[in-house]
Amino acid sequence: MAPHPSAATHFKRLLLTGAAGALGRVLRPRLKRHCSVLRSSDVAELGSAAPGEELVIARLEDKAAVADLLRDVDAVVHFGAVSTEHSFEEILPANIVGTYNVYEAARRHGVRRIVFASSNHVTGFYRQDEVIHPRSPPRPDGYYGLSKAFGENLAQLYWDRYAIQSVSLRIGSALPEPKDRRMLATWLSHDDLERLVLAALTAPVVGHSVIYGMSDNGATWWDNTTARHIGFRPQDSSEPFRVALESRQPSLDLDDSANRFQGGVFVRTGPFD
Ligand code: 15L
């Protein structure tokens, strides 16, 4: 069951980019409960509009289209992106140019808050026997992780220079259930994803904050202490899935880099020529 909205904040209009994507589809009905109007956008088909919803098909790399998208919105939940490892040429338009277009449009329209879907792949080349924190130096595990590191740096620049507040969410594995042993550490339930996005939208002072998106899992590689001010309290855990996942994968081949590094298979996806 979805979490009840605890935040008193009710927005007039929120923009959700990537609304047709895997996590956009999860967030779309949930965000609608927290705003009078939800503007849902994607490059892909969005179906029909719910009451109080505006649908806009737009390419993130289209600067003019993105400028129109941000008109009259209170805040942006920016989830639009290529969301797995691809060649640099495939990542560049939506993830790098597109995120720049979102921040530039925010500056021009005076939008003061952006929740940016970053990824754990910003730090995917840390080992699974390390516990890191949001201020650990980035170690992207591919072009996708690199594009998210760019987005985080952009968020920092637009905070320092233009006072646009952002929360960069280094999302782990946001799925209905953890699917393998790695996800015992990286899993983020959909309800906790909603809690995380709401906390990021409503915490009064965030500057540019970075936080890992994970549930209250027993094993963790990420220490979110430096982002406690956001007030995110995960309520789900991967522990109930542990026995089943360990019996499905009783041993792990440690010669496989995917089993040694936090980014899993992303660390060995590519090259693309
Ligand atoms: C991500 O950033 C991806 O978007 C998603 O497809 C998952 O692979 C996830 O990371 C993960 O690390 O499990």
Judge whether residue 147 has pLDDT over 50. Answer: yes
The alpha carbon of 216 and the centre of ligand 1 are apart by a number of angstroms equal to: 18
The catalytic residue among 103, 143, 144, 158 is 144
Please work out whether the CB of residue 179 comes within 6 Å of at least one atom of ligand 1: no
DSSP string, 10-44: -EEEEEEESTTSHHHHHHHHHHHTTEEEEEEEESS
Distance of CA 82 to the CA centre of its chain: 12
* For residues 81-109, average pLDDT: 98
pLDDT of residue 145: 98
The mean pLDDT of 258-263, rounded to a whole number, is 98
- Alpha helices in 61-215, H assignment, sequence order: 63-69, 88-91, 98-109, 143-162, 183-186, 190-202
pLDDT of residue 169: 99
Query: Which among 228, 233, 203 is positioned nearest to 216, based on CA atoms?
Result: 233
Structurally, at CATH architecture level, domain 11-268 sits in 3-Layer(aba) Sandwich (3.40)
The model's pTM: 0.97
The reply to whether 144 belongs to the active site is yes
84 Cβ below 6 A of ligand 1: yes
> What's the mean pLDDT in 170-176?
99
44-72 confidence digits (pLDDT tens) = 999 999 999 999 999 999 999 999 999 99
**39 CB neighbour count, 10 Å cutoff:** 21
Span 81-95, average pLDDT: 98
Q: What is the pLDDT of residues 212-222, one digit of tens each?
A: 999 999 999 99
C-alpha to C-alpha distances, 105 to 1, 24, 60, 164, 182, nearest whole angstrom: 35, 20, 11, 11, 37
- Measured from the CA of 145, which atom of ligand 1 is nearest? 2
Of all protein residues, whose CA lies closest to atom 4 belonging to ligand 1? 83
pLDDT above 60 (res 223): yes
**Residue at 31: amino acid letter:** L
pLDDT at position 8 is 62
Q: Are 41 and 15 in contact (CB under 8 A)?
A: yes
Q: What is the mean pLDDT of residues 31-37?
A: 97
Q: Are 146 and 136 in contact (CB under 8 A)?
A: no
Q: In this predicted structure, what is the pLDDT of residue 9?
A: 78
